[in-house]
Amino acid sequence: MKSLLLGAVVAAVGLAGTAEAADGLAGVDVSNWTGDVDWGSVASGGGKFAFVQATEGNTYRNQRFDAQFSGAAAAGIPRGAYHFAQPHETDGGAQAEYFVQNGGNWTGDGQTLPGVLDLEDNPYKDRNGKNNCYGLSPEDMVTWVGDFTKKYWQRTGRRAIIYTTTSWWRTCTGDSAKFGANPLWLAHWGADPGELPKGWDRYTFWQSAEKGTLAGGQNAFNGTESELAELVNPPAEATISGAARSRKTYAVTITNTGPHPLTRIKVSGRAYGGQRVVKAPGCDFSGTAVRCEVAELRRGQKVTFTFTTNPRAKGTVGMRFTIGSVELTLKGR
């Protein structure tokens, strides 16, 4: 568990670098087809991260996943799992759930990258009779991707990385701009990453070749080692909001929007404008001052404190709060 000096809104990790960068930290992606991997050689050869296929659709699990995933960790290489989407088989939420239950879960162990949603041309057209977009319209594909990413965030507290090509994204989602908050793993083989899909102004990972010099595909992370470490294990996040419901009632809400539990969150407040605090459930108060503490706030949970004062009839009144590093002023109306 982690304690947190809360920010007003601690945003998702932002990664430095530009889309023009032709190099970066080297990494690999592997699957069952890669076979046994010499992870020691990958590490000694400069490999800084790895992605391992875990699942496909709603029934397939890579039989080598456990060995590949644990092998990368044992060699000191941060690794993440990826899911090869089959959007025509089941809805996005169901495939995200299958992914999480079969290797795609995220844990704050300092070694695990967020899971990846792999979206690319349908390789089974001769078998399933679908086109490269699996028979879905752009609108339906956007809904499918949204269902997957929403479920993954609900289950893990992390935003799934999206692997795709610019061509597939433009054709099959209508070049949707709705997923720019998800890190982009761009597949574009060649000497430069080329144009990016709509919604992203930079890539986070770039797959530049199907086969690399280390193992599996050749990839680069568009950032520094410290930024990669932050993507692996980001800081705790919280959103703090407040409202003056009247001249005498005020509310402060703290929501855990990150992947880690928060502990010992302290709230201190003071009424101003010649009023006193007369009611504050769950908190200690005296005169104009109030103090509250949240022992633990798990991922996705929120807590709301409500304060009642005895304001004077006229003049400016309100309350000022400090929550970690946040200063919040609520003016009564």
For helices 92-99 and 138-156, the axis angle rounded to 10 degrees is 40
For residue 201, how many other CB atoms are within 10 A of its CB? 10
Catalytic hit among 56, 97, 118, 237: 118
Q: Is residue 118 among the annotated active site residues?
A: yes
Q: Is residue 120 among the annotated active site residues?
A: yes
* Structure token digits, residue 97: 């759930």
- What secondary structure letter does DSSP report for 12? P
Residue 68 DSSP SS3: helix
* Structure token digits, residue 207: 């797959």
Note whether 25 and 221 are within 8 A (CB): yes
Nearest-angstrom CA–CA distance, 166 and 197: 5
* Structure token digits, residue 156: 């893990």
* Structure token digits, residue 211: 């086969």
The pLDDT of residue 3? 34
* Structure token digits, residue 173: 């989602």
* Structure token digits, residue 271: 């009424």
Average predicted confidence (pLDDT) for the chain: 91
H/E element holding 269? strand 262-272
Note whether 131 and 123 are within 8 A (CB): no
* Structure token digits, residue 244: 């003056």
The pLDDT of residue 13? 30
Q: What is the pLDDT of residues 20-31, one digit of tens each?
A: 334 689 999 999
The pTM of the full predicted model, rounded to 2 decimals, is 0.83
Nearest-angstrom CA–CA distance, 52 and 78: 11
Q: What is the pLDDT of residues 166-208, one digit of tens each?
A: 999 999 999 999 999 999 999 999 888 999 999 999 999 999 9
The pLDDT of residue 23? 64
Mean pLDDT to the nearest integer, 110-131: 95
Query: Of 5-14, 45-54, 85-94, which range is least confident?
Result: 5-14
Burial letters for 205-220: b for 16+ Cβ neighbours within 10 Å, e otherwise? bbbbeeebebbbbbbb
| 228, HSE (Cβ side, Cα atoms, 13 Å) | 20
Catalytic hit among 89, 91, 120, 147: 120
Mean pLDDT to the nearest integer, 12-24: 38
Q: Is residue 91 among the annotated active site residues?
A: no
